[in-house]
Structure 1
Amino acid sequence: MEGHQAASIWDTFTHEGFSFDGSTADVSADQYHHYREDVKLMHEMGLDAYRFSIACPRLIPDGRGEINQEGLEYYNNLIDELVLHGIHPHATIYHFDLPQVLQDEYGGLLCHHRFRGKKTTSEVCFKKFGDRVKHWVTVNEPSIEPIGGFDNGSQPPRRCSYPFGANCTGGDSSTEPYIAAHHLLLAHTAAVSLYRDKYKAAQGGQIGIAVLGWWHEPATSTPQDAAAAARMNDFHLGWPLGYGEYPPVMRRRVGDRLPRLSVAESARARGSFDFVVFNHYLILRVRSAERDEASQEPRDHYADAAVQRPHRVSSMGAGLGKLLEHQKLNYGNPPVLGFCSDRGQGDAPDATGEIVCDDDFMSEFLQGYLEVLNRSIRRAHCHCTHSKIDPSPSSRFPS
């Protein structure tokens, strides 16, 4: 076994020609061979933290068996190099790259076996790297993989059903996104429980989850659109990490297609984070699309939320401020709220829609986000007491 990695579902996806630009990303940035140069550049830039993802197919090629020693050596070397240069390693354990063998043999995220495999991967990471890694992210964006992979089929493993996706091989857009998301939630809570029970006291680290923090706003001033935006924020952000249950609006609208948490699973989910990472990019404008709830037409995530497919708007910082305020007010303003780990914009489009390099635009873009973040931090510090989260979901979510 070479030090690179075994095939993941993304490798299969790109090699079958479904990537956005036709590339396979077999090499890409090639940090595997250039990590020393990369870390040196980070140090010269003055970075004091670096978030990276540990590829399961590189560390444990089949997701549940023997460790690939070359992959283990690579991650140890990368972490050592970061620490040597005074850069704190922030490691993500699962980032969309399910080993293809687990997809082939067990159905991937649709099978509860994936939950057990995630615990195995987490244990190896904690045991081998936890003496130096003090910030762990269990799962990256657990809301986007179920939508892209199991609702509209735009991402691997390309499962969907008519009329919600195209060019998919099998799938059920009405049920599978919720099943996949639920199993990612169980994988997260298992990893957190493992770390807290077995490693946290000795290693002194923190563990959390990375949430895709899109912010939804009404497209118009109508009450219907305002209600639709609120529903979409609950569907998108209302994971059972704070209250131990899905929002009542989801439970009512999705019904039996939404998996249920057992009493024990609910207890593990509640408060299962030391911090929340937000990957924030934009505001989505939402229009209501209410329909007869007795209709027998197939429904997917957006139909259940009764919204049209949202229109994307770059927020230049405003969306991040509203997202952070939402989390502060609705999740008890925990002392460690989050790190903004994904946030960017390539370049400004010109009048024709072509991308052009524009350093002034990028400077203005980043400045806008930093100003909003600074105001949010100041408001959080002015909140003198940290309220406790009421464990009852009805205390927060409308029904």
Structure 2
Amino acid sequence: MFTPFKKDFIIGTSTAAYQIEGGWNEDGKGLSIWDVFSHTKGKIRDGSNGDVTCDTYHDFQTDIDLMSSLNMDAYRFSVSWSRVLPEGKGAVNQKGLDYYDRLVNALLEKGIRPFVTLFHWDTPYALFQQYKGFAGRETAQYFAEYAKVVVERLGDRVKDWITLNEPWEHAMFGHFLGEHAPGIKNPWTYFKVAHHQLLGHGLAVQALRSERSDLNIGITLSQFPVYPASFHPNEKELDSVEMADMFVNRFYLDGVFKGKYPEKLFSRLWPIVPKIAPGDMETIRQPVDFLGVNYYTRMYATRKWYIPFLKTWVDRNPSDERYGHPVLGAHAFPDGLKELTRRYREEYGNPVIYITENGTTEPGHNLEESQRTDDTYRIKYMSHYLGALKEAIDEGSDIRGYFHWTTLDNFEWSSGLSCPMGIIKVDHKTQQRTIRDSGYWLRDLIANQESRRR
């Protein structure tokens, strides 16, 4: 056990509404695109859905008590847009707001700091029917109106706000590859969704700040160092690395922090770039208080001559076994935290950083192994990633917190219930909770932090 962090460094866990709440059609909640997608045959790997999952809509107190027993400093959760605004706009569902009001109060009673994410991929289905979700510009404005509704109710107690979670994934997997809700396979809509999400972010920041001046507001981006798939790349392969980095990382970073998109990327993809209205980029570049980073691993870029314009494909699986981590295996890359945060220091003004997600299941997604409570692999994983995080801080990065993904075994999107990632094991038939060894390991780490704070 080590205590590498400053006294005010916070440690917690993350969840998302659709993945844990259940109560999918109760108390006036409207449908989300994930409600519809997960009920569509063949979309979820194990045939499950989010109708019940961890059932926190009916009982969040059990989990808050467990988090309190593990000394958690903070808890990151998301609000279901369609639980608050069943149609995505217009009439407010007070029972939905009441739920989050009670949740926030219960967290604060246990001394746990709430971090609220406003959008974690669950677009109201009504907005998808009317505007194709964020493929339509109108949804960005409705997102800001929704943000104002939520902050009016919770902003007196919740000070930490995240507008969007992982806009790249929502655009890529939901609207390009069709593997996530809403299941669209149309690369021509990708940049519309990406741009309109960032526009919604900027409008939401304005809405939040117009309501209160005492908020800590940020956005969460997934981030991946990009490497060539081969150990001896040629010039075209290196070009693919640059294109992939701009496509996955820099488009979002440059938009938020520089108010522009990478020119080289847009010159390559000019036939499918989004329509950018006057003032859009100024809106997207609203000052933020922090950058949330969801970091798991790196990506590998491959030259693909048949892919229009970009000529590039990215993959999270290494093509060469030499890329693997000596202890954690092929899919882990802790040092990427140092690589990414060095970029933020050098190119984006060294913003305040929270690691808003980082976690793992057992290698190979072996369900039987992943369900065990003696999860030594997860402990090794956290230890190596937190060690790299400490090195990044020592190098000068302003990193102020770490949120492990995830609190509970939940509905892991297209993997369903077959990918347990929680520090708390959940039996989804009985809703029985069991703290894993990794949870106790994290508890002891936080306890050592507490001793430094006194």
Superposition TM-score, scaled by structure 1 size: 0.83
Distance 1:304 1:354 in 2: 43
Correspondent of 2:310 among 297, 305, 311: 305
Please report how far the alpha carbon of residue 4 of structure 1 lies from its aligned counterpart in structure 2 after TM superposition.
6.7
Structure 2 counterpart of 1:331: 348
Structure 2 counterpart of 1:365: 381
Question: Which residues of 2 match residues 234-273 of structure 1 at below 5 A?
Answer: 234-238=246-250, 239=252, 240-273=255-288
Distance 1:85 1:157 in 2: 37
- Please, which moves more after superposition, 21-30 or 352-361? 352-361
For 1:131, give the aligned amino acid: D
Does 1:315 find its partner at 2:337? no
Q: Is the 8 A contact 2:83 2:96 kept in 1?
A: yes
For 2:115, give the aligned amino acid: H
Shift in CA distance, 19/189, structure 1 to aligned 2, threshold 3 Å: same
Q: Is the 8 A contact 2:79 2:118 kept in 1?
A: yes
Q: Is the 8 A contact 1:218 1:287 kept in 2?
A: yes
Q: Is the 8 A contact 1:93 1:139 kept in 2?
A: yes
Shift in CA distance, 232/381, structure 1 to aligned 2, threshold 3 Å: closer
Shift in CA distance, 316/364, structure 1 to aligned 2, threshold 3 Å: farther
Correspondent of 1:49 among 74, 90, 99: 74
Structure 1 counterpart of 2:327: none
Structure 2 counterpart of 1:192: 205
Distance 1:226 1:180 in 2: 27
Task: Find the residue that maps to 1:51 and give its secondary structure.
Answer: strand
Q: Is the 8 A contact 1:2 1:70 kept in 2?
A: no
Structure 1: 5+ residue runs without aligned partners?
Answer: 161-171, 292-296, 383-399
Task: Find the residue that maps to 1:285 and give its secondary structure.
Answer: strand
Greater RCO, 1 or 2 (C-alpha within 8 Å, sep 6+): 2
Q: Deviations over 1:49-86 (max 9, x none)?
A: 10000001111111101111211111000000111111
Please report how far the alpha carbon of residue 271 of structure 1 lies from its aligned counterpart in structure 2 after TM superposition.
4.8
Structure 2 counterpart of 1:68: 93
Structure 2: 5+ residue runs without aligned partners?
Answer: 1-24, 318-329, 399-454
Q: Deviations over 1:210-233 (max 9, x none)?
A: 111122112223243333223211
Structure 1 counterpart of 2:361: 346
Q: Deviations over 1:337-376 (max 9, x none)?
A: x2112111112349x9974545221111110000000000
Distance 1:84 1:304 in 2: 54
For 2:70, give the aligned amino acid: M
Number of aligned residues: 354
Structure 2 counterpart of 1:21: 46
Structure 2 counterpart of 1:210: 220
Does 1:375 find its partner at 2:391? yes
Distance 1:38 1:327 in 2: 35
Q: Is the 8 A contact 1:243 1:271 kept in 2?
A: no
Distance 1:343 1:359 in 2: 16
Q: Is the 8 A contact 1:284 1:310 kept in 2?
A: yes
Q: Deviations over 1:60-118 (max 9, x none)?
A: 11110111121111100000011111111000111111111111122222211211210
Q: Is the 8 A contact 1:134 1:205 kept in 2?
A: yes
Q: Is the 8 A contact 1:288 1:306 kept in 2?
A: yes
Correspondent of 1:181 among 176, 194, 199: 194
Distance 2:270 2:397 in 1: 40
Q: Is the 8 A contact 1:316 1:368 kept in 2?
A: no
Q: Is the 8 A contact 2:118 2:164 kept in 1?
A: yes
For 2:389, give the aligned amino acid: L
Task: Find the residue that maps to 1:208 and give its secondary structure.
Answer: strand
Correspondent of 2:109 among 84, 106, 127: 84
Shift in CA distance, 105/216, structure 1 to aligned 2, threshold 3 Å: same
Q: Is the 8 A contact 1:153 1:159 kept in 2?
A: yes
Structure 2 counterpart of 1:163: none
Structure 2 counterpart of 1:385: none
Distance 1:245 1:132 in 2: 34
Distance 1:305 1:315 in 2: 27
Does 1:275 find its partner at 2:290? yes
Task: Find the residue that maps to 1:32 and give its secondary structure.
Answer: coil
Correspondent of 2:241 among 229, 247, 272: 229
Shift in CA distance, 130/182, structure 1 to aligned 2, threshold 3 Å: same
Shift in CA distance, 353/57, structure 1 to aligned 2, threshold 3 Å: closer
Distance 1:369 1:211 in 2: 18
Superposition TM-score, scaled by structure 2 size: 0.74
Structure 2 counterpart of 1:116: 141
Q: Is the 8 A contact 2:28 2:86 kept in 1?
A: no
Percent of aligned pairs with the same residue? 29
Q: Is the 8 A contact 2:218 2:290 kept in 1?
A: yes
For 2:136, give the aligned amino acid: C
Distance 1:131 1:311 in 2: 41
Distance 2:153 2:111 in 1: 20
Structure 2 counterpart of 1:7: 31
For 1:94, give the aligned amino acid: F
Shift in CA distance, 2/212, structure 1 to aligned 2, threshold 3 Å: same
Q: Deviations over 1:243-272 (max 9, x none)?
A: 111101211111142124344222222254
Please report how far the alpha carbon of residue 319 of structure 1 lies from its aligned counterpart in structure 2 after TM superposition.
2.0
Task: Find the residue that maps to 2:288 and give its secondary structure.
Answer: coil
Task: Find the residue that maps to 1:83 and give its secondary structure.
Answer: helix
Please report how far the alpha carbon of residue 235 of structure 1 lies from its aligned counterpart in structure 2 after TM superposition.
1.2
For 1:12, give the aligned amino acid: V
Distance 2:161 2:170 in 1: 20
For 1:81, give the aligned amino acid: A
Distance 1:192 1:359 in 2: 39
Distance 2:343 2:221 in 1: 14
Task: Find the residue that maps to 2:269 and give its secondary structure.
Answer: helix
- Please, which moves more after superposition, 254-263 or 232-241? 254-263
Q: Is the 8 A contact 1:282 1:315 kept in 2?
A: yes
- Please, which moves more after superposition, 207-216 or 88-97? 207-216
Please report how far the alpha carbon of residue 23 of structure 1 lies from its aligned counterpart in structure 2 after TM superposition.
0.5
For 2:336, give the aligned amino acid: G
Q: Is the 8 A contact 2:300 2:314 kept in 1?
A: no
Distance 2:310 2:59 in 1: 45
Distance 1:381 1:28 in 2: 37
